[in-house]
């Protein structure tokens, strides 16, 4: 089994559209949407949800007013200023947004008036799509633990891979270089960095490339909308050449990407012989020819 993680140094580079297009070109694969903070692969895949499960992570303090004697110790101990005194009901309350779930108030309350229940931070799903199974998730608004949810989504993906003997995992990774990205690339076969030909796009691509090198994951790069800035396209390719990063190709700017998204289709499904579709097919072929992605039975 091989796993390809599609990454980008910033949001909006086209990695989700490219992941969906790759799915339309492959067989016997599973989709994994690891961009749990801003999941959008489902917009193109229109998944039929087969299993829906709450994501429970961390704890949140809750003050029981019947047991609280209003000593104020919890407010003094809280380093995050999450304990507030509300004069209207005349009681102490916990600000759920400011609470970091450290548990100090719960452990040290002399009246044991502070409960510390686990919190539901989001949901994760196992679905069917027109291209194959898909594991995806949605983190709640302003919730944390996205790295842990990414790890959970990947674990559930591996279970399906083992059960159904799937050859390939296509993972739509998060943007940037933070904890969710680190959680998404561990033990993967290779990463494909989707870069934009701008100064900031090149800088962000370089950071992702250094992250992949740190974890010893083979990296490839493709340049989306390359024709908008040929000079930066050449600069990206020059950086890749100096750092042993395979350049899989250039994808031209084409409004067909936007039109296909509106139709909830991949650009390949809209017109598989358009210049942008042919460019994506070429990128896909080069990705699958990379030594890190070679399989006994190609998909």
pLDDT in tens, 175-210: 999 999 999 999 999 999 999 999 999 999 999 999
The domain segmentation of the chain, as residue ranges, is 2-56+122-293, 61-116
CATH of domain 61-116: 3.30.70.20
Show the 3-state SS of the chain. Answer: CEEEEEEECCCCCCHHHHHHHHHHHCCCEEEEECCHHHCCHHHHHCCEEEEEEEEEEEECCEECCCCCCCCCHHHHHCCCCCEEEECCCCEEEECCCCCCCCCHHHHHCCCCCEECCEEEEEEEEEEECCCCEEEEEEECCCCCCHHHHHHHHHHHHHHHHHHHCCCEEEEEEEECCCHHHHHHHCCCCEEEEEECCCHHHHHHHHHHHHHHHHCCCCEEEEEECHHHCHHHHHHHHHHHHHCCCEEEEEECCCCHHHHHHHCCCCHHHHCCCCHHHHHHHHHHHHHHHCHHHCCCCCC
Confidence of residue 119 (pLDDT cuts 50, 70, 90): confident
Region 88-94: what's the mean pLDDT?
88
The predicted pLDDT at position 38 comes to 87
Same fold, 2-56+122-293 and 61-116: no
- Label the pairing between strands 168-175 and 29-33: parallel
Worst-scoring range by mean pLDDT, 29-33, 85-89, 166-170, 187-191? Answer: 85-89
Query: Whole-prediction pTM value?
Result: 0.87
- Is 296 a residue whose pLDDT tops 70? no
CA distances from 2 to 28, 44, 174, 187 (A): 12, 23, 19, 10
Superfamily of domain 2-56+122-293 in the CATH hierarchy: P-loop containing nucleotide triphosphate hydrolases (3.40.50.300)
- Is 298 a residue whose pLDDT tops 80? no
| pLDDT tens-digit series, residues 249-294 | 999 999 988 899 899 999 999 998 999 999 999 999 999 999 999 8
Confidence of residue 88 (pLDDT cuts 50, 70, 90): confident
């Amino acid at each position: 089994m091989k796993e390809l993680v599609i990454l980008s140094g910033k949001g909006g580079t086209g990695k989700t559209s490219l992941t969906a297009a790759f799915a339309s070109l492959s067989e016997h694969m599973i989709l994994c949407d690891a961009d749990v903070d801003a999941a959008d692969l489902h917009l193109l895949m229109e998944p039929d949800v087969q299993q829906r499960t709450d994501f429970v992570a961390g704890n949140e303090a809750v003050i029981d007013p019947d047991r609280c004697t209003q000593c104020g110790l919890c407010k003094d101990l809280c380093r995050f200023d999450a304990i507030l005194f509300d004069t209207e009901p005349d009681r102490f309350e916990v600000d759920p947004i400011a609470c970091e779930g450290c548990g100090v108030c719960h452990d040290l309350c002399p009246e044991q008036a502070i409960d510390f229940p686990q919190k539901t931070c989001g949901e994760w799903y196992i679905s069917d799509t027109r291209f194959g199974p898909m594991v995806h998730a949605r983190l709640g608004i302003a919730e944390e633990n996205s790295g842990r949810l990414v790890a959970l989504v990947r674990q559930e993906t591996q279970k399906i891979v083992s059960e159904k003997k799937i050859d390939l995992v296509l993972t739509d990774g998060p943007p940037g270089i933070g904890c969710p990205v680190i959680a998404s690339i561990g033990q993967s076969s290779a990463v494909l960095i989707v870069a934009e030909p701008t100064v900031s796009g090149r800088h962000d691509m370089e950071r992702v490339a250094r992250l992949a090198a740190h974890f010893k994951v083979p990296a490839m790069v493709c340049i989306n909308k390359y024709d908008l800035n040929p000079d930066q396209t050449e600069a990206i390719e020059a950086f890749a050449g100096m750092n042993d990063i395979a350049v899989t190709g250039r994808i031209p700017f084409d409004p067909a990407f936007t039109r296909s998204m509106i139709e909830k289709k991949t650009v390949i499904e809209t017109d598989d012989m358009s210049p942008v579709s042919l460019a994506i097919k070429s990128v896909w072929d080069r990705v699958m020819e990379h030594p890190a992605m070679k399989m006994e039975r190609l998909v």
